[in-house]
Amino acid sequence: MVTSRDVARLAGVSQSTVSYVMSGRRSISPETRRRVESAIAELAFQPNAGARALKSQRTRVIGLVVPFGPDADTSGLLPFIETIAHCAREQDHDILLVTRDEGSAGLTRLAARSLCDAVVLMDIETHDARIPVAAGLAVPVILIGLPAEPLGLPCVDLDFERAGRLAVEHLAATGHDRIVLIGHPRPTVAREVNFVGRFRRGATAAAAAHGVPCTVVDQPERGPRGVSAALDEALGCGEPSPGGRLGVVVHDTEAVQPVLTAAAGRGRLPGRDLSVVGLCPDVLAEGTTPPVTNVSLEPRDVSRRAMRTLFRLLDPGGAGPVAPVELISPRLTRRRTTLTG
């Protein structure tokens, strides 16, 4: 292992000078800087992370708690992780992965062992037992999601009410006179991930405002059978008046393609016989058959905002006030599953 002492020896300076060259925390003569820098390059020196953390009380690591585990909504997770990792590296920080199945213990471990400087907590339930623990940690925590009681922790999330509104307003504007909202499988609803309620609230409020009747249907179980059952209920749910138009809003990202396929299989082609709007990432919507009109989830925007806020909390100087809740606006993109009109 190459240490800063080796660099110092090679450059003919003291260890502290090497440290100051790297941190830039005091002025160094050009000649000394040159010698030190070339020694660093020659030895390919990089500072030992443990020693640095021990002395500076900064690990340059961000803990990321991801929703792995039984019946977690894992679809569309990767763009979050990817963006978070990317933002961390931009600030020369790394990502330490902690899985949800560790529960609160994972959080206390991160803080008590000084494994990281800050924590990103994903997949927040409405009444999430980890929130009080997170709020008591010695390191800043940011939530991706919106619990009932954030206990002072900053939250970043998609504006799901707005997403529901967008979907319904699109259908209302294109002349639909009946709207069915297909929701999540029972287990997910039971976990009370709070975006479920927010999306519904936005959708039903918009439907009421536009005077369009709107029904909510959940999937009785996970998987294609659950989707089929929900769709049957949706299609049976009062045919629109003869010549009327039915719009289906699919809240569950994983159910979007199955709904399209199942509807087509029943001879009701999306975009010809009824409309479908899905809540899902653009990349998925482009890939469905047919390409589905979608309200995007904006995982990259949400993640970027979360990381921006996190680094602001970490910044010793800045310490500017941080918004308690940041909601990212979704976008609706019309594709092939909206009836013309």
Using alpha carbons, list the distances in angstroms from residue 184 to 66, 159, 265, 291.
Answer: 20, 18, 21, 21
User: Quick check: 5 binds DNA (CB under 7 A)?
Assistant: yes
- The listed partner (DNA, a second copy, none) that binds 138, CB under 5 to 8 Å by sort, is a second copy
Q: Which stretch binds DNA (CB under 7 A): 50-58, 80-88, 158-166, 230-238?
A: 50-58
Residues in CB range of 181: below 8 A, 6 or more apart: 164, 200, 203, 204, 214, 215, 216, 217, 248, 249, 251
What length does the chain have?
341
C-beta of 150 vs 278, nearer to a second copy: 278
C-beta of 25 vs 317, nearer to DNA: 25
Strands (E), 100-162: 118-121, 141-144, 155-158
Question: Of these, 38, 41, 42, 51, which contacts DNA (CB under 7 A)?
Answer: 51
H or E element, residue 184: strand 178-185
H or E element, residue 161: helix 160-173
C-beta of 52 vs 191, nearer to DNA: 52
Contact residues for a second copy, defined by CB under 8 A: 1-2, 44-54, 59, 61, 64, 68, 74, 77-78, 81-82, 85-86, 89, 94-99, 102, 108-109, 112-115, 138, 223-224, 257-258, 261-262, 265, 286-287, 289, 291
Q: Which stretch binds DNA (CB under 7 A): 23-31, 199-207, 273-281, 286-294?
A: 23-31
Q: Which stretch binds DNA (CB under 7 A): 48-56, 96-104, 134-142, 332-340?
A: 48-56
Shortest Cβ distance from residue 36 to a second copy (Å)? 17
User: Quick check: 19 binds DNA (CB under 7 A)?
Assistant: yes
Residues in CB range of 180: below 8 A, 6 or more apart: 214, 215, 216, 217, 234, 237, 246, 247, 248, 249
Question: Of these, 38, 41, 54, 236, which contacts DNA (CB under 7 A)?
Answer: 54
- The listed partner (DNA, a second copy, none) that binds 29, CB under 5 to 8 Å by sort, is DNA
C-beta of 103 vs 240, nearer to a second copy: 103
CA–CA dist 50, 59 (Å, integer): 8
Shortest Cβ distance from residue 56 to DNA (Å)? 4
C-beta of 9 vs 86, nearer to a second copy: 86
C-beta of 77 vs 237, nearer to a second copy: 77
Per-position DSSP letters for 40-80, written without gaps between them: HHHHT----HHHHHHHHS---EEEEEE--STT---TT-HHH
Q: Burial of 315 by CB count in 10 Å (0-12 exposed, 13-18 middle, 19+ buried)? A: exposed
Question: Of these, 9, 43, 52, 81, which contacts DNA (CB under 7 A)?
Answer: 52
Question: Of these, 14, 74, 289, 329, which contacts DNA (CB under 7 A)?
Answer: 14
- The listed partner (a second copy, DNA, none) that binds 174, CB under 5 to 8 Å by sort, is none
CB distance 48 to 3 below 8 Å: yes
Question: Of these, 38, 56, 91, 289, which contacts DNA (CB under 7 A)?
Answer: 56
Q: Burial of 258 by CB count in 10 Å (0-12 exposed, 13-18 middle, 19+ buried)? A: buried
Task: Name beta bridge partners: 215.
Answer: 180
User: Quick check: 1 binds DNA (CB under 7 A)?
Assistant: yes
Nearest-CA neighbor of 280 among 167, 135, 139? 167
Name the maximum alpha-carbon separation found in the chain: 90
User: What does the binding site for DNA look like in residue numbers (CB under 7 A)?
Assistant: 1, 3-5, 12-20, 22-23, 25-29, 31-33, 45, 47-48, 51-52, 54-56
